[in-house]
Homo-oligomer: A and B are copies of this chain.
């Protein structure tokens, strides 16, 4: 996570005060997005209430934008960190016609869905537009 922002500029969606927002390269679940903290922190309870709240507002803002962008049945919010402890949220729009619905995204392995550069740009553009709408409406 620590270098993902630098390593994958073509997947960048937004840079917030506390978090970076990056599209997952694997778009098997359309709109699957990472929100990860700028600081190398690991657990919510290591943060001050102010920073925790600010991070959660950023996570929330991205979730709302994904919901408005893709009209899924549900957003899944997952903060795991077993493999990569650096705090990162998996925000995954879930659709009733996705192959794993209604099970968690991890219940079955799948081949990654890789988009063209143009498709990534388009998808990121849609999310950015909704994030802007979100911000202006807040």
**Within the assembled complex, what's the spacing in Å between the Cα atoms of A59 and B56?**
12
A82 and B106: CB pair below 8 A?
Answer: no
B77 and A82: CB pair below 8 A?
Answer: no
Smallest distance from the beta carbon of A132 to chain B beta carbons, Å?
A: 16
Smallest distance from the beta carbon of A57 to chain B beta carbons, Å?
A: 7
Looking at the complex, which of A1-9, A11-19, A45-53 is the stretch in contact with chain B? Answer: A45-53
- The answer to whether the Cβ of A76 comes within 8 Å of any Cβ in the partner chain is yes
Select one of B77, B81, B102 contacting A44, CB under 8 A: B77
Residues of B within 8 A of A105 (CB): 106
Binary contact readout A37-48 vs B (1 if CB under 8 angstroms, 0 otherwise): 000001111000
Determine chain A's interface SS by DSSP, over half rule. mixed
Select one of B79, B85, B106 contacting A77, CB under 8 A: B79
Nearest residue, chain B, Cβ from A56: B56
A76 and B67: CB pair below 8 A?
Answer: no
Most buried by B among A42, A57, A106: A106
Chain A residues within 8 Å of B, Cβ to Cβ: 42-45, 49, 52-53, 56-57, 59-61, 63-64, 67, 73-83, 85, 94, 101-107
Q: Which 8 A-B pairs rank lowest in CB-CB distance, beginning with the nearest?
A: A82-B102, A45-B64, A104-B106, A77-B79, A106-B106, A83-B102, A44-B60, A78-B78
